[in-house]
Chains A and B, each alone.
Chain A
Amino acid sequence: MDNETILSVNDLSISFKTLNGMVRAVRGVSFDLKRGETVAIVGESGSGKSVTIKAVMGILAGNAVIDSGSIMYGGRDLIKASEKDYQSIRGSKIGLIFQDPLSALNPIMKIGRQITEALRLSDPKISRADARKKAVELMESVGITDADRRFDQYPFQFSGGMRQRVVIAIALARDPEILICDEPTTALDVTVQARILDLINEIKQERKLSVIFITHDMGVVANVADRINVMYAGKIVEKGTADEIFLEPAHPYTQALLAAMPDLETSERLMSIPGTPPNMIFPPKGDAFAERNAHALEIDFEEEPPYFKISDTHYAATWALHPKAPKLEMPEVLRNRIARIKEEA
């Protein structure tokens, strides 16, 4: 992996105009994507992860306002790019895979045509036979067997996992260098999910893709991610390598998120996070997680914490890392799990 940064999001803030007021959906998000790596953005529903990548794709809803920030790609700022500029990027340079493969596909168009449609966008002069040949190759490369026959079938004739493979084939048709996956396996069964994750990992290697992976599932993140950004209430609260986030989580929210899910070894009581995420029309002063954090300090309610550096790759925005703060005690279930993981190694 070379260390060239291919996409860089800096201090991005996005609000939505609603009847009740401005919803501050994304608040100062920064992350880099390096060539050949997978960066994950993890968070619960409403944390702003999907909005962030919609901004990257230039497909924000009409009532969205970009308050500040930049999205640097190929030497220019995508926020300032016109719709016409975007048309040469969207799909051809940056591909997108959605959560629900059924609504991503046109139900009354044959699978094959949905793939050749994408091929034609890149190469309008491609002959019908060539397009078909290419599409069948793509279908085979994403693990659709009997591709030549299935080329003429409709989406309803495919199972959930196969549909997601078709969506991946369409995304790959234009040979993008960045692939954004927005919860691509959430709607799928675990065994199918495992196969799709394997496929994404494989095509990433083969095509030297850089991947941004959005999910709420920490198990899935552990599988795919090189680096992880944990989002809460529109902000990245912790970022680090996969090992750092799972073995040395520093932000109370990251810890809580990990301690709230059982793994196959868990027998201790789960840590439940009391309450619900804050209303982002009135973002709380200070640390947005403070209200739900049993170990919150006084300053958590007063002042927004800066990013504290833990290592060159590991940062967390929490006052718990301030030298004067009392040491944060990890939840038991998480402490035991980390001990187990370290023992195995």
Chain B
Amino acid sequence: MMPEERVPLLEVEHLKMTFTSGKGAKKVTVNAINDNSFSIYEGETFGLVGESGCGKTTTGRAIIRLYDPTGGTMRFMGREISGPMTRELRRFLTDNISMIFQDPIDSLNPRMTVEEIVEEGLKYHGVKDPAERREIVLDMLAKVGLTKEHASRYPHEFSGGQRQRVGIARALVVKPKLIIADEPVSALDVSIQAQVINLLNDLKKELGLTIMFIAHDLSVVKYFSTRVAVMYYGKIVELAPSEELYRHPLHPYTRALLSAVPQPNPRLEKRRQRLSYDPAKDHIETGEERRMHEILPEHFVYCNSAELEKYRELL
């Protein structure tokens, strides 16, 4: 697909999220998201990768407005969603954006049956007829690989992988335009991880989903995503199509991250040179402000012009 033909579903510009704690002299300010801009196009999977505390989860939550962003604008389906929260805006967001959470145990109400959990969204979505709701729910459960018999059971009766299927069914049942999947597989065992990744991949094709995939495992993100953004301390430092990012990592942090991903290859692992990232040493300081530069079509890297020159030589 050519870039011009793509329709941005979500446009995020200069998103900032600051948390403060304490008062007066003890006041601490944390820039969880530090001026990030990106778009998510219809039908793509946008991977957001980074280490714990880098702000990737905060980004997801700011988009669905679980947090009120400190600055910046967000447009979703052409409509501004970063303004003051109203009932109507809340409704618009919950109707069109769903979340899948990391921990399938904590994110399901233990006192509700699977059917009630999946059905709940439909109720608010305006499906009034219980028979119709039931039909939609059972259909959705079948799509995620659960059966009718599972519908009347409670979350504790399921294994981790099955619980995550329930979480996926709950997210998809309202036919959202965008799904924010926050570490959906990292709590699962490897064999179950593959089940869930394959399921999400199948559903993506079948239903034409747009997914924002937040994870720390670069192998999984690269495998699953169309484009990948790498985040470091609240800042997106590199953004590129996933294959391109992997072939030509430019930002020293991306390179360090890639060199650290353990690979199931003993010959490679035993002679592997790991790079470490030291923000104080790995950059050229010219006093010029850094910004996102498009170094190759679609490949953005956060740098100043001197670094841009250096990165060009690396290509």
Contact = CB atoms under 8 A, between A and B. Distances in A.
Contacts of B218: 190, 264
Interface stretch (B34-42, B73-81, B169-177, B267-275): B267-275
Contacts of A243: 266-267
B296 interface: no
Contacts of A262: 197, 219-220, 222-223
A142 B58 CA distance: 33
Contact of A222 (B189, B219, B264): B264
B262 A266 contact: no
Interface stretch (B20-28, B252-260, B279-287, B302-310): B252-260
Contacts of B190: 44, 216-218, 257, 260-261
B262 A223 contact: yes
B274 A219 contact: no
Contacts of A218: 190, 264
B216 A222 contact: no
Interface in A292-327: none
B191 A266 contact: no
Contacts of B201: 269
Chain A, interface size: which category?
35 or more
B189 A344 contact: no
Nearest to B53: A189
Contact of A276 (B192, B256, B259, B274): B192
Contacts of A217: 190, 262
Nearest to A191: B260
Contacts of B216: 189-190
A345 B274 CA distance: 19
B152 interface: no
A222 B269 contact: yes
Interface stretch (A58-66, A91-99, A192-200): A192-200
A109 to B, nearest CB: 25
Interface string A174-207: 0000000000000001111111011000000000
A341 B268 contact: yes
A221 to B, nearest CB: 8
SS of B interface (majority): helix
Contact of A191 (B159, B246, B276): B276
A258 interface: yes
Given A243-B267, A246-B265, A262-B219, A273 B191 contact: yes
A273 B265 contact: no
Interface residues of B, number: 41
Interface in A261-275: 261-264, 266-267, 269-274
Contact of A190 (B257, B270, B272): B257
A191 B256 contact: yes
Contacts of B194: 259-261, 270-273
A123 to B, nearest CB: 36
B228 to A, nearest CB: 11
Contact of B191 (A190, A225, A257): A257
Choose among B197, B266, B268 the residue with the greatest number of A CB atoms under 10 Å from its CB: B266
Contacts of B246: 264
Contacts of B269: 219, 222-223
A264 B261 contact: yes
B267 A345 contact: yes
B233 interface: no
Nearest to A260: B194
A310 B260 CA distance: 33
A337 interface: yes
Given A190-B217, A223-B269, 6 more contacts: A189-B216, A190-B260, A191-B256, A193-B260, A223-B272, A260-B194
22 contacts: A44-B189, A189-B51, A191-B276, A195-B276, A216-B189, A223-B270, A246-B264, A259-B194, A261-B190, A261-B193, A262-B219, A262-B220, A262-B223, A264-B218, A264-B258, A266-B223, A271-B194, A273-B191, A273-B192, A273-B194, A276-B159, A341-B268
Interface of A: 44-45, 189-195, 197-198, 216-223, 225, 242-243, 246, 256-264, 266-267, 269-274, 276, 337, 341, 344-345
